[in-house]
Amino acid sequence: MPDTILLSPAGNFSLQMNKHIIDNGLTAAAVARRFGHSPSAVYQYTSGRAVPRPKYRPDLASALGVSLAQLESWCREQVVTTPPLPRDDLDDTLADLRGVLRQMPAQRWPVVVEIVRQVGRLS
């Protein structure tokens, strides 16, 4: 049975904005420059901590190269359905990761965990 996840408005906005940035070869710093705001303001949106206030949305949409309507759609909560991962695939993937982790210094493991979290946010 598929898993159903309810994304908050900030969570959905973060997911959609990050996907758009990656798909279009942008960087958060470039978006911040075009937007005319600090990189930390853009980070609030890409990290899922906040959605942009309505008065900032037209400028942010322009900086991202999307319509205001598209950006507004990112500001709503969304139900996401994901198919379950077959058990064999999960076990095989974990075995692969264990092998890779054993070959790298333990100090780098937290970086791998963060990469997995970031990938999970984009899918």
State how far the Cα of 41 lies from the Cα of 59, in Å rounded to an integer: 13
DSSP 55: G
Per-residue pLDDT averaged across 59-78, rounded? 93
Residue 11, both tokens: 């969570």
Give the pLDDT confidence of 18-48 residue by residue, as tens digits: 899 999 999 999 999 999 999 999 999 998 8
The pTM of this model reads: 0.61
SS3 29: helix
Other C-beta atoms closer than 10 Å to the C-beta of 85 total 11
Question: In order of start, what are the domains of the chain with their CATH numbers?
Answer: 3-81 (1.10.260.40), 85-122 (no CATH)
- Tell me the residue type at 107: Q
- Tell me the residue type at 39: P
